[in-house]
Structure 1
Amino acid sequence: MTSLSTLSDLSERMHRLIRAINDRNINAKPGKMAPKIYTMKEAEPLIGRKYHTIRAAEKEGRLQPRETLADGRRTGYTLADINRAREVFGTRLRRGAGDDPIRIAVSNFKGGSAKTTTTVHAAQYLAEHGLRVLLVDCDPQASSTAAFGYVPDDDVNVSNTLLPLLDGEQSSLAYAIRETYWDSLDLIPSNLMLYNAEYGLAVEANKNPTALLRLLLGLQSIEQNYDVILLDPPPALGMISLSVMQAANALVVPTPPALYDIFSTRAFFSMLVEVVETLQRHFGEVDYKFVRLLVTRLDMNSETQQQLVELLPEVMGNTLMRHSVTKTAALDRAGMYGRSLYEVLPDSVPRKTWKRAVNHFNKANEELLLLIRQSWPSHAEVLREEGLL
């Protein structure tokens, strides 16, 4: 028989293992907490100006000149440098004054759907393209928090998670926001103790359904500082997930293209219909600006998965995102170093493998960015001129 003491010992050993892995990754690869550096070639399309225009602005003093190294090469650009250049040239992507911040729930009630991987890569991509992004880790497993270099149960106090808001002790989320090492990308972290909100909300919501509005109201109190808020909820139907569904105004549902995952996702949508009906009875219309199914973890060598992916557009129509994200060794390798594909160091992953994997994420995230921009009235004219609306 496995005793409580054995389980406790195993839990403690796993905790030490996670701390050791995290320490090794940060110490062996210093720079996890340092800004990513972009070459001029990489910076040009992000800034939206050519090399000679950027250099001219540096000579004129409008931009900080790059330092020249001993070998004659110029130092690169951080994302903060790129955003300053965007401000100078008026090329930074933003929502207009009358546009709503987009609150996207990346949700599926089944684990293993690449929910957190999708959320983290989307957050970093959108920030890299100039948007002001907040990632809210609503999952007690705290995988999004860990992706930004924290050991959640060591480095995050429960008072700095969503728990005080969901318990009714706080009315604004300003207390929980942390800057990350990605410029214009902030994080509200999580840890295991956030699970206590499930019990508290379950008891309170029976008498006071408006408790489920706390996350929405907390986000509304700080959302004017952001263009996009990404919500990473638990992979289960509970009170936190209900709060997320009420707080979101857009929804992305990641699912691997395997039969059991499709069955699970179908069940997710069936339950979601019931959830939204319940929310609407209590709080009025729930109106998502867009709802999309994203195929994740696609095995390009699987004939069965390829056939399923070919069938999906016929049935799902434009509710299916056109681009899928493949299962790749590069993502696993990056994860070994505690990094996303957008952060991984050049010597960590074979370059061809990395470029192929990044390309899939870029296409899916570019499609997500377009959905966001199509939701903003101030972007309509430009998008029409580009044939994107």
Structure 2
Amino acid sequence: MGTIVTYLAEEQRTFAESPFNPVDSLVFATLAYLNYEQAPCMPAAGAGRVLLHDVIMLSDWDDLTACSWMEDAKDTRAFLHVLAASRRMRDVSVAYYANEHSEAVEKQFSAVTLFFPDGAGETGYLAFRGTDGSFAGWKEDFNLCFKEVIPSQCTALAYASGVASATEGPLILGGHSKGGNLAEYATLTVDEGTFARIVGVYNHDGPSFLEDPSPRIESTRFCDLLHKTVPESSAFGMILERRRDYRVVVSSALSVFQHEPFSWQVEGDDFVYQEALNPSAVFFDEALDAWLRGKSPAERERFIDTIYELFASTEASSWAEFQEKLFANTRRLLGQGTKLDAETRSFIWQTLGSLGGILKNETIRRFKPAPPTWLPRRRARYDSEKGNDL
């Protein structure tokens, strides 16, 4: 078994020689995290294309991977090395890079289109970026718990429509984390002409929806297009997920660290799968789902907004900045918490308490010993001796 890094090192066939596969999709979804504005060869928006190879070779890798999980991942440099040397990726070109960030409307959106030649001509992969390290990016993710539509979803629809109008040929939409949710949303809401050109939708450990964005979600064609993959201990990708048409990928990491794409196990040109999620992931998913159902959208919004405001009060704009002065920021966060009015403090503790209660009940339900199998037979014998009718 290997990873997407070993896959790129070993798979030297072109897309014309070996068709696009789910592992390619995770590679392309990971490429959405690169800061293409840092590449000196990158053309202005809409001005043309540049080879992915040139982006990798002509850029400073620290700048290219800054402000995302790739910045600290131990396999990032190996990933970039094999990308630059890959025969399979040598003709992949990059265009239509978009990067938008707004604290005011709690929006973090980025996407890029990767074109690759294949046996039928050329296909465009619209790669949507997942959450970055900013508080605004994480806040927008949490907003999915009470908003039917978030700003990045609207922008994803506009982006997909724009790329479709500027290109011809088949399209694939995909992303990792929130990017997978954006890929699904855009596919479900584009016009019929664009939808007809889509040949695949890949959601790699991204959340689902509070409400179905379109009746198209129940259509046979959309179900055939969708490839949702989650790691064995997935937490984030199972948020709001009501469907069962996902596949579970084996990961080399533990717990929440399985969210990192470099940990997903690969064999040949596909992932290594297992039949179901690990028990711990099912436990967390059911507990979180019960908590969400037990709170109104207004209560969820109030809770999330209050927690976000507490973190924002530390004057850090990202998790990285928060951790740089962890002790001081934690003290400030706790200090600001004491300044909340009594009603808000009570609401926060009650909300956290309800989540804790659900986790406790779920733990008891799962780990309570089953009654001994001899009890029913013993009771039956007792009733028989007493002449009781059962």
Structure 1-normalised TM-score? Answer: 0.27
Structure 2-normalised TM-score? Answer: 0.27
**Larger strand percent:** 2
Larger Rg: 2
Relative contact order, CA 8 A, sep 6+: which one is greater?
A: 1
